Amino acid sequence: MQGTILVAEDDPEARELLILLLGGGYEVLEAADGLEAFDILSRHSPDLLITDIVMPRMDGYELVRKVRQDQRTARLPVIFCSASYHEREVREMARSLGVLNTLAKPYEMEVVREVVATALASKVTSLPGRPRNAISPEAAECLRGAQERLNAMVAFSRHLFEKKDLAGIAACASHSAREILLAQCAQVYVSQQGHKGELSIASGLGERELNELLCSQMYRQLRTVVEEGGSAMFPMSVSEGASHASASEAGAFVSMLGVPIATASHTYGYLSVVNRIGLAAFTEEDLGIARALATQVAIAYENTIRRRELEAQVARRTDMENEVRRLNRELEARVKQRTSELERANRELEAFSYSVAHDLRAPLRLIDAQVQMLASGQMGKLQRPAIVQLEQIRRGAGHMSALIDGLLALSRVRHADMKQTPVALNDVVRKALDILAAQIEGRQIEWKIGSLPNVTCDAELMLQAFINLIDNAIKYSRSKAQAVIEIGYETDPSPHIVLRDNGVGFDMRYASKLFGLFQRLHRQDEFEGTGIGLATVSRIIERHGGKVWAESTLGEGAVFRFTLAGLLASPQSAVRGPQPE
């Protein structure tokens, strides 16, 4: 059968599928919306018009209404296409406009070809009846429409939650609301306090008609209610708006349905649809669907906000990680540089130590030898004053040599590699007393050596620390007829080693100077020394992660205490020191 068919469908894929299902033998004209189809009708005379209902610029209902008003096209056969869940409303709409039949989406090829052939042959002038069922036709249509509308809501939710920005959410919601609720126009506005909102309008009207509709006084009044968080539906029933709708023109305000886009705690905007296609008003069922749509939009918007916050957190964390990596690279480079500088300084220090050990000691040895020769009379007998002066020179050379030895020892303490092993401190004390046997000989000293713990430390450095502390106690207690030196382990307030003597003590006002380099609290003619021994002790204890401090009462002796990292082991059995003869 030959004929010309005009297909008006805004979805290119649906339009292409429908043309394919028609089969060959027809000349097909295509239009993307009602306005384009109406323009084609002014230039061509097709034998049949197949039109979708929900289309941009001009919907199918408005298109057919204009076709029936034009005398040239008033008797043109028309077939409506729409989603199957709108079939009941579409059939009512079709009867009011003299439309021959309807095609439900998704299309079936046999149904499409049969309905088109029938329309072209003008064999049927009214909508076909439905077969008898166990339930009434109206009930069957309601059930099928409810199921299809539910499917449409599910599809809407799936598409909505695929959107990742506010503009996409608003656009998806406005187009879906207009299609599901069969409205000439749908408007969705979504925003959050302190942020710019997004407005999307989906319409089947021309630009002029749309502006007239949105600027109408009734629409603006009702929209204000919705913007403030309320719901609006006008008119309240189909019968109430029937008389007004029959005389309306395109762009005239007939009906409106508006609901807030909100969750239980926040309101984000509103959804409104205007002018129900084919009916004089929106229904209570439409109101329920609109609220469901708005709730989905609110949830999608909150998800978008959370996604943005998470993305911002991830971006900040990424920036922080990159900054940490950059700082680590800089730190590594700085460590390499400092390590290189330290190695160079150590080489220079080693060179200096060699110079001190050899180049400075040689002149001192020469001075000492020459003084001894003069004092012995090998170069002639000298007067008593000259001998006294030579003895002072010799003592100065000896003091200088002691200073050099102390500086070399301090240098080794600061820069020597630590060889940490488990060490019994009682054994260290025993070795220190053996080394100091010459200073102890002839002295009346009472030794009180308690049980000391085992610690992990550098044995050589710890031996040096005990030698200096014990030597200090021996020296400053020599004015006592019966010296008492005590070495022990105490745990109050925290574990530490303690060394007490009953010597001359020191003034606590100057305690801060005690462990400083070259710092002495007594005159050289009272007690010999270089001011390096206790400074060396402080460096050794610090290198072992501990601290050293002293307490004293002038004339009543001194107490030295020090801690070490890991000083928690059980002390060994007491070790007795050397006893006076």
| pLDDT score of 219 | 87
* Higher-scoring residue by pLDDT: 432, 527: 432
The pair phi, psi for residue 421, each rounded to 5°, is -140, 160
Q: What are phi and psi of 135, to 5 degrees?
A: -110, 165
- Banded pLDDT at 357 (limits 50, 70, 90): low
pLDDT > 90? residue 342: no
| 536's tokens | 């060396």
Q: Which of 578, 342, 356, 352 is nearest to 483 (CA)?
A: 578
How large is the average pLDDT for residues 14-25? 84
Angle between helices 384-415 and 361-376 (to 10 degrees): 160
pLDDT tens, residue by residue, 241-283: 555 544 456 678 889 999 999 887 888 899 999 988 878 889 8
> What are the distances in angstroms from CA 510 to CA 152, 516, 520, 540?
90, 11, 10, 22
Please write the tens of the pLDDT for every residue from 86-117: 566 666 677 777 787 888 877 888 888 888 88
Q: Confirm if 273 and 282 have CB atoms less than 8 A apart.
A: yes
Pairwise CA distance, residues 359 & 451, whole Å: 45
259, 309, 310: which is closest to 282 by C-alpha?
Answer: 259
Identify the weakest region by mean pLDDT among 72-81, 115-124, 353-362, 415-424: 353-362
| Average pLDDT of span 31-46 | 89
Instruction: Give the residue carrying structure tokens 């021996």.
Output: 474
Average pLDDT score over residue span 539-552? 89
Confidence bin at 575 (pLDDT 50/70/90): very low
Place of tokens 């097709």: 46
DSSP calls for 220-271: HHHHHHHHTT--EEESSSHHHHHHHHHT--TT----EEEEEEE-SS-EEEEE
Burial degree of 482 (CB within 10 A; 0-12, 13-18, 19+) = exposed
Residue 187: its pLDDT value, please? 93
Q: Phi first, then psi: give them for residue 268, nearest 5 degrees.
A: -110, -10
- Give me the residue spans of the domains in the chain: 3-129, 141-307, 417-562
pLDDT at 137: 60
CA distance 553 to 501: 11
DSSP assigned state of 86: G
Q: Is the peptide bond before 495 cis (omega within 30 degrees of 0)?
A: no
Class of domain 417-562 (CATH, top level): alpha beta
Give the domain 141-307 fold.
Beta-Lactamase (3.30.450)
- Tell me, what's the pLDDT at 241? 54
Q: In angstroms, rounded to a whole number, what is the distance separating the alpha carbons of residues 9 and 16?
A: 9
What percentage of residues in the chain have a pLDDT greater than 70?
79
What number is the average pLDDT over the span 300-305?
A: 86
175 versus 25: which is more confidently predicted? Answer: 175
CA-wise closest residue to 551 among 494, 516, 499: 499
Q: Dump pLDDT digits (tens) for 434-468.
A: 988 888 888 889 999 999 999 998 888 889 889 88
Could you give the CA distance from residue 202 to residue 277 in angstroms, rounded to a whole number? Answer: 14
Cβ(114)–Cβ(91) below 8 Å: no
Question: Which residue would you say has higher pLDDT here, 526 or 179?
Answer: 179
Question: What is the layout of strands, in order, in the sheet containing 558-562?
Answer: 445-449, 483-490, 496-501, 558-562, 548-552
Region 13-35 average pLDDT: 86
* The Cα angle at residue 177 between residues 311 and 209, in degrees rounded to 5: 115
pLDDT of residue 246: 47
Using pLDDT thresholds of 50, 70 and 90, give the confidence band for residue 196: confident
**SS3 helix, strand, coil % of the chain, rounded to 5?**
50, 20, 30
Cα(233)–Cα(257) distance, integer angstroms? 4
Ranked by mean pLDDT, the top range of 144-158, 184-198, 432-446 is: 432-446
Residue found under tokens 């998704």: 106
Could you tell me which of 303, 13, 311 has the C-alpha nearest to residue 162? Answer: 303
> pLDDT over 90 for what percent of the chain?
19
How far apart CA 537 and CA 540 sit, in angstroms, is: 5
How far is Cα 481 from Cα 442, in angstroms, rounded to an integer? 11
* Residue 48 predicted with pLDDT over 80: yes
Asked if pLDDT for residue 569 goes beyond 60, the answer is no
**Amino acid sitting at position 50:** I
Residue 416 pLDDT class (50, 70, 90 cuts) = low
The pLDDT value recorded for residue 273 is 92
6 to 36, 49, 66: CA distances (angstroms): 11, 5, 15
Distance linking the first and last C-alpha atoms of the chain: 141
Per-residue pLDDT at 567 = 76
pLDDT one-digit tens code per residue, 375-404: 776 656 777 777 777 777 877 776 677 667
CATH number of 3-129: 3.40.50.2300
Confidence of residue 33 (pLDDT cuts 50, 70, 90): confident
Establish how many alpha carbons lie within 13 A of residue 473's alpha carbon, considering only the half-sphere containing its beta carbon: 31
Spell out a b/e string for 282-293, using b for 16 or more CB atoms within 10 Å of the CB, else e. bbeebbebbbeb
